[in-house]
Amino acid sequence: MKTSAPPSSQVLGEGRYLRLLDDGGWEYCTRHSVSGVVVLVALTPARELVLVEQYRPAVRRRCVELPAGLVGDVAGRESESLAAAAHRELAEETGFEAREMVELGAGPIAVGVTDEIVTFFEARGLARVGTGGGDDSEDITVHVVPVATVRGFLAEKLASGLHVDPKIYAGLYLVGGT
């Protein structure tokens, strides 16, 4: 789903992961060496939503988010599918395995700043097989929250100074989880 930079664009800066481009006066940021981003709406059989909480340097706070991850960013797995990455990220971050991943939709989430296209999956048939927590570079807390009480849970997190990623609301809309 990722678009590569057009030949007309000028590189304004480059890091190990991100590149800043100017394409005819329009500036945006792109992530090299990935083929997509997956976001997981994972509901347990008891209709609990699986959320993750972690410190995010960009905003210098802990954030509550849907489980998510990059596709094709690991050496030797560059060609993995979106669905395969979805299964891998869900297990790594949350300890849940899904029987099935159903694509809900995809789109650019912050198109004024980045070319990133996120693909939402519904993770079905969940079973807990581990504790999650992320890979070696991550320190993730897992929350399993009844859908009926998600709004209150997130309000408490906001009240205690955390950020809440609005992609949670998008995911709940896509699965009809009001």
| Cα 55 to Cα 66, 145, 164, distances in angstroms | 14, 20, 12
**C-alpha atoms less than 13 angstroms from C-alpha of 40 in its C-beta half-sphere:** 33
- Coil, strand or helix: which one is 31? strand
User: Parallel, antiparallel, or unpaired: how do β-strands 48-56 and 141-146 relate?
Assistant: antiparallel
Q: What is the chain's alpha carbon radius of gyration, rounded to the nearest angstrom?
A: 17
Options 53, 65, 73, 93; binder of a copy of itself; rule CB under 8 A: 65
153 lies in the site for a copy of itself, by CB under 8 A: no
Q: How far apart are CA 21 and CA 176, in angstroms?
A: 37
**C-alpha dist (Å) from residue 21 to 7, 9, 28, 46, 114:** 11, 6, 5, 45, 10
Under rule CB under 8 A, residue 6 binds a copy of itself: yes
CA distances 76 to 79, 83, 85, 87, 90, Å, are 8, 17, 13, 17, 19
Please identify, using beta-carbon distances, which residue of 16 and 45 lies nearer to a copy of itself: 16
Q: Which is nearer to a copy of itself, 96 or 120 (CB)?
A: 120
Question: What whole-number distance in Å separates Cα of residue 95 and Cα of residue 90?
Answer: 7
Residue range at the interface with a copy of itself (CB under 8 A); choices 78-86, 89-97, 138-146, 170-178: 170-178
Which residues in the 7-46 window bind a copy of itself by CB under 8 A? 11-20, 22-24, 26-31, 37
Residues 80-99 that bind a copy of itself (CB under 8 A): none
CB of 154 to a copy of itself, least distance (A): 8
Single out the residue of 77, 107, 127, 129 in contact with a copy of itself (rule: CB under 8 A): 107
Count of chain residues binding a copy of itself (CB under 8 A): 59
In the complex with a copy of itself, which residue's Cβ is closer, 97 or 164? Answer: 164
Is 58 a residue that touches a copy of itself (CB under 8 A)? Answer: yes
For residue 97, the surrounding DSSP H or E stretch is: strand 96-97
- Site membership for a copy of itself, residue 148 (CB under 8 A): no
Binding site for a copy of itself (CB under 8 A): 3, 6, 11-20, 22-24, 26-31, 37, 56-60, 63, 65, 68, 105, 107-118, 120, 158, 163-174, 176, 178
